[in-house]
Structure 1
Amino acid sequence: MTSAPHPLVTRAHELATEVLAPRAERVDQEGLPASHIEAVKRSGLLGIGAPVAYGGSAAPADVVRETAEILAGACCSTWFVQTQHHTPVKTLAASELPVRERLLGPLATGALLSGIAFSHLRAHPRVLVRVTRERGGRRFDGTVPWYTGWGLNDVMLLAGVTEAGEALFAFTEAREQPGLRPSPEMRLAALTASRTVSLTLDGLWLPEESVVLCTSYEKWATTDRPRNTNASPAVFGVARAALDLLDTAGDPAAEEASQALRARLDGVRRQAYALADHPVPHERIEERLALKTRAYDVMRAATTAAVVSGGGRSMDLRDRAQRLAREGLFLLVQGQTTDVRTAHLAALASA
């Protein structure tokens, strides 16, 4: 007997089938509508990892990964905007500062959607955003190169480096305001629909009570670095969506390719998730990176196979195989760190 799926997995399937997948090609070309975000908020998925006491579900890791696969396979742009939300939730859940009581509940229940503006911290020792003390609060100056979900998010988790070399994180409203100016939305090869901009910070002032975390840069980096060494569930989700296309192509050769690639995908997925559940996240890094690059290889093969099976029509930007192939390219660099890039290039050179 098999157990019933977790309720959040069921909701993710419903959201994917009824809202996301039928409109994915249109969203890819025209932009992510606010209605998609409202549907995600209503689904309860924004609180998937949040504490139950604050209205979340505190779901286990395998449920979190499965829902991410489902959303990414249905509409990667929607997945990418909503996935930003979960780090602010975790950061608040681990904080003991006053902002926790103000924001954790609304974020856990989906009343508010949060974006993130801190990937620039990984450029260390370059400092792209500086934080100084001013008027009983904090002043932010610099540039955030990438911010996703502009016009869709309610709040953002913003970070910079203090004069003492600390990584400081604070919340602010995700809107243009004195000291915060967005660029025009970026035209990207994939996921342009995600409404990604850069942010210019010129004296953005935030009160001290907006701060959620202030720690030494090295302490933060020690926790952050291992996260991106694990294979992303979105990679498996996009790969599976491409294989599903092969299964419905009505071509024996496409179905045979799908069967072989699905076996490879399932094997890599099983190993990658077992390692992701290892209790010490900074151990077995080389093995994690090897599995991550193998996951990329299978995804690339699956999306390429979908394009090949579709023939000339796959060159139409409105074609599903075309979209999945471009989304796969995006996932190759999403959240990329120096360690990930080095390992991936080495694997490609030896292939």
Structure 2
Amino acid sequence: MTVAAPPRHTADSAVAAAAELAERFAEESVLRDRERRLPVAEVEALSASGLLAITVPVAYGGPGLGAEVLTEVVRLVATGDPNIAQIPHSHYVYVNALVEQGTEEQKSFLLGEVLAGKRFGNAQSEVKSAHVRDHATTLRADPDRPGGWVLDGEKGYATGAYLAHWIPVLAHQGEGGPLAVAWVEREAPGVTVIDDWDGLGQRTTASGTVRLDGVRVAGDRVTPYHLTFERPQVYGAFAQLLHAAIDAGIARAAVREAAAFVTTRSRPYPDALALYDTGGAAGDPLVVQAFGEVELQVRAAEALLAEAGRAVDRARGGLTAATAAEASLAVAAARAATTAASLESSSRLFEVSGTRSALRGLDLDRHWRNARTHTLHDPAAWKVHHLGRFAIDGTPPPNHGQI
């Protein structure tokens, strides 16, 4: 049976498709969280929608949509279920890595896989390393195949790998050599993906372990990684931007669910009934004030997020050290704002909804657990620090993948 290729989107159709999927994903988000049920069918729907291919350049058969559109797509999907929005995060990042550093043959083949609905995962972080940019995993020359490599190592927090078709693995090319990306098929001999993620939030991202035992990698399935940071780049800003979009989606979902709860299930506080003709909890002036404060914070975060997407697109259109720094700072501001907004909205949800909102069966705490877990990905305090340094004396942010 021939499988139909996913649709090729315009900016408007991509946003519309994301909004439609978000509604669908929200329907059983509580059950998936409560039962830790991986969103296998939902991720397949995401592939079938064509949204995983929207950043493939026009030259390689894709629509070539920019960071601003992708940011809104990810944010919308996250309002339905931020776990599903996080799973393809590395997919988009490694599509970007491939476009920047791949050969024509590599781009033609692997981007063709994306256009056919295939998914990239990631095997990047190492749990036992000294810090996030420290890697022990190494590509060693294959003694049996000239030009080939053998890959050994263990990666953690490998979001997307469990449900991927291809796993880009970050490794040193040769003992102590430069960092490279090895493109490994999910089912290749020696690849083991373990669903052992046990976080308090983002429970269904399958962000587990990838073990690589003597995995053979052809020479034409390796792309350089270190070169990305030897010139001005927005590779890091792009990755951070998508994290911010996930947090913004969590924040908006928390506000919406709190509003639905207050208007349908909350009881008014007696003092509000005595002093005002409220007509219910939703008319309590203190509740309305709290909603207004949270809505203001979430709207500000969403505005900074949208501007950050535009800044990344502007920098790509004319990449210099100055435009790259401006994009990184815009994303840093968005990342700090969405971190605060997601944590605040998911916490104050209970303040405005009252005691019964704490019932375990409602699972309203998933918004806070998701926010608290996902916002730990990179410290927001360092985003603020770099913004402060720039504001004081114009010091640009560092040229690496975390900002």
Secondary structure, counterpart of 1:98 in structure 2: helix
Q: 1:226 to 1:38 in 2, by over 3 A?
A: closer
- What is the deviation of 1:238? 0.9
Task: Please list every run of 5 or more consecutive structure 1 residues that lacks an aligned counterpart in the other structure.
Answer: none
Question: Among 185, 191, 197, which residue is 2:196 paired with?
Answer: 185
- The answer to whether 1:128 aligns with 2:136 is yes
Q: Is the 8 A contact 1:55 1:109 kept in 2?
A: no
User: One-letter code of the match for 1:237?
Assistant: G
Distance 2:73 2:138 in 1: 36
Secondary structure, counterpart of 2:304 in structure 1: helix
Q: 1:307 to 1:54 in 2, by over 3 A?
A: farther
Match for residue 323 of structure 1? Answer: 366
If the length of structure 2 is used for normalisation, what is the TM-score?
0.74
Q: How does 1:1-351 map to 2 (within 5 A)?
A: 6-17=12-23, 19-30=24-35, 31-94=37-100, 95-110=102-117, 112-120=118-126, 123=131, 126-134=134-142, 135=145, 136-162=147-173, 163=175, 165-175=177-187, 177-178=189-190, 180-216=191-227, 219=230, 224-227=235-238, 230=241, 232-248=244-260, 249-250=262-263, 251-252=282-283, 253-278=286-311, 279=315, 280-283=323-326, 288-334=331-377, 336=378, 340-343=380-383
Secondary structure, counterpart of 1:118 in structure 2: coil
Bigger Rg, structure 1 or 2: 2
Task: Please list every run of 5 or more consecutive structure 2 residues that lacks an aligned counterpart in the other structure.
Answer: 1-9, 264-281, 316-322, 388-403
Q: Is the 8 A contact 2:195 2:206 kept in 1?
A: no
Q: Is the 8 A contact 2:162 2:193 kept in 1?
A: no
Distance 1:270 1:89 in 2: 26
Q: Is the 8 A contact 2:161 2:167 kept in 1?
A: no
- What is the deviation of 1:158? 1.0
Distance 2:134 2:161 in 1: 25
Q: Is the 8 A contact 1:29 1:193 kept in 2?
A: no
- What is the deviation of 1:298? 2.0
Q: 1:224 to 1:55 in 2, by over 3 A?
A: closer
User: One-letter code of the match for 2:349?
Assistant: A
Q: Is the 8 A contact 2:244 2:305 kept in 1?
A: no
Q: 1:154 to 1:288 in 2, by over 3 A?
A: closer
- What is the deviation of 1:328? 0.7
- What is the deviation of 1:102? 1.8
Distance 1:227 1:241 in 2: 23
Distance 1:61 1:247 in 2: 30
Q: Is the 8 A contact 2:183 2:221 kept in 1?
A: yes
- What is the deviation of 1:332? 1.1
- What is the deviation of 1:65? 1.3
Match for residue 268 of structure 2? Answer: none
If the length of structure 1 is used for normalisation, what is the TM-score?
0.84
Distance 2:160 2:305 in 1: 29
Percent sequence identity is 20
Q: 1:125 to 1:317 in 2, by over 3 A?
A: same
Aligned-pair Cα RMSD in Å: 3.1
Q: Is the 8 A contact 1:48 1:57 kept in 2?
A: yes
User: One-letter code of the match for 1:257?
Assistant: A
**C-alpha deviations, 1:194-235, integer Å up to 9, x for none?**
112112223222111211335458538965554566571111
Q: Is the 8 A contact 1:25 1:318 kept in 2?
A: no
Q: Is the 8 A contact 1:300 1:325 kept in 2?
A: yes
User: One-letter code of the match for 1:41?
Assistant: S
Q: Is the 8 A contact 1:26 1:318 kept in 2?
A: no
Match for residue 279 of structure 2? Answer: none
Match for residue 3 of structure 2? Answer: none
Secondary structure, counterpart of 2:27 in structure 1: helix
User: One-letter code of the match for 2:180?
Assistant: L
**C-alpha deviations, 1:57-103, integer Å up to 9, x for none?**
22233221111111111101111112221122222333225222222
Distance 1:106 1:263 in 2: 42
The answer to which of 131-140 and 120-129 deviates more is: 120-129
Q: 1:139 to 1:238 in 2, by over 3 A?
A: same
- What is the deviation of 1:170? 1.8
Secondary structure, counterpart of 2:197 in structure 1: coil
The answer to which of 209-218 and 147-156 deviates more is: 209-218
**C-alpha deviations, 1:228-273, integer Å up to 9, x for none?**
6657111111111111123222223444322222222222332343
Q: How many residues align?
A: 338
Distance 2:304 2:183 in 1: 36
Secondary structure, counterpart of 2:324 in structure 1: coil
User: One-letter code of the match for 2:135?
Assistant: V
